[in-house]
Amino acid sequence: MQFTIIGISGDALEGTVFTFLQYFVPAGFLTTLEPYPVEQTAPTIIKEMAMASKIAGIGPMSAVAGAIAEAVGKDLLPFSPEIIVENGGDIFLKTSKKRLVGIYAGESSSTGKIALEIKPQETPLGICTSSGTVGHSLSLGCADAVVVLSPSTPLADATATTVGNTIKSIDDIPSGKCQLECLAEDLDSGDILTYEWEAEGGNISGSGSPVTWTAPEEPGIYNISVVVRDELDAETRTSLPIVVAAEQPAPVIQSLTVTTNIPAYIRQKSGGYEILQKSEHCTLECIAADPNDGELHYIWSTERGGISGNGAKVTWTLPPSSAEGFVITVMVADGRGGIASEDVTIKVRSCFCGG
């Protein structure tokens, strides 16, 4: 069984969630742009938001979407090994297979061309995006998309906002360079922490956190690792893979077709297909080509019905009939940042009446 929750309605957020928060925290918690302390008796989700905001140096409401996504996801974990909760660009993910997460950056030319490869052993994982050009959330910067990964979804959410606030112009993103920041805190004694950085390629300049990484000219995946130590030499470490991509053409989708075992149960119409309910399922096949002759990965998604299988050909189990139709989307990724996507609309009918 897999649980996929896409979005949480704004009405629900403004109603139920804000009512809950107002009951447990002062009004300042909901409006401040700075870290805000809370009582130890506060609900867990509020304490997690407060801790994330303290580490990221920003108001606690910057972590609310990530905190809700994680809370919902963790509640579902006992029932399924596959959990995806997407809440307005903030994702809680638990998976038993490799996943590719595409990045949406609004009008940026990068939209639909970059995907993050998430391995099962890296989950549960928070994948959060902040934007100064997309959506209604407050951002003091102008970045199209800042994406942060963390085992803590509230922390990823808050940190994405913090980083996004620092991007005021294109000059804040030097070509071939990026800023690496490790947010850590000694909860036991408040020791001064030291940071030891290492990169598989390129050069790291600076000390402590943040530092600057200058990417190598050779395209590839480079792991950046950091070891954080306190004054007693207790340490923890983490790493992050960064893709250095060359300018290469994206995959090309040549066709996206739908078929059934009985040809009479399906017909192609303007804008998509119509299928009889008694067919119960249909086969979707995406024919795509990689100009670089590399391996392609296929990611299928739909809001209704069940998709089984993987690769270029999958099976979709029909939901109840709908005059509006169901949209099925396939994303084709080459593993180097190139992505193409296409969708098809299928209307499920009880009969082919009236032509």
> Which residues on neighbouring strands pair with residue 223, listed in sequence order?
241
One domain for residues 267 and 311 = yes
One domain for residues 141 and 185 = no
**Tokens 């086969």 sit on residue:** 283
Q: Is residue 159 part of a domain?
A: yes
One domain for residues 288 and 181 = no
One domain for residues 124 and 221 = no
Q: Residues 178-193, buried b or exposed e (16+ Cβ, 10 A)?
A: eebbbbeeeeeeeeeb
What mean pLDDT do residues 271-296 have? Answer: 90
Query: Which DSSP category does 60 fall into?
Result: G
CATH number of domain containing 223: 2.60.40.10
pTM (predicted TM-score): 0.50
CATH number of domain containing 45: 3.10.520.10
Q: Is residue 355 part of a domain?
A: no
Using a pLDDT cut of 90, give the percent of the chain over it: 21
162, 165, 166, 170: CA torsion to nearest 10: 140
**Tokens 């407060």 sit on residue:** 50
So what's the pLDDT on residue 255? 95
Cα–Cα distance measured from residue 245 to residue 223, given in angstroms and rounded to the nearest whole number: 14
Cα–Cα distance measured from residue 345 to residue 284, given in angstroms and rounded to the nearest whole number: 12
How many C-beta atoms surround the C-beta of residue 34 within 10 A?
11
Kindly report, residue by residue over 106-125, the tens digit of the pLDDT. 777 777 777 888 888 888 89
One domain for residues 154 and 222 = no
Residue 83: give the domain boundaries. 2-172
Q: Given 187, 216, 244, which residue is the final one in a domain?
A: 244
Q: Is residue 31 part of a domain?
A: yes
Q: Is residue 58 part of a domain?
A: yes
One domain for residues 27 and 165 = yes
One domain for residues 39 and 168 = yes
CA 27 to chain centre: 30
Kindly report, residue by residue over 235-266, the tens digit of the pLDDT. 898 888 887 766 667 889 999 999 999 999 99
CA 268 to chain centre: 34
Maximum average pLDDT range among 31-35, 143-147, 212-216: 212-216
Judge whether 51 and 87 are in contact, CB under 8 Å.
no
One domain for residues 233 and 137 = no
Cα–Cα distance measured from residue 156 to residue 158, given in angstroms and rounded to the nearest whole number: 6
pLDDT class of 225 with cuts at 50, 70, 90: very high
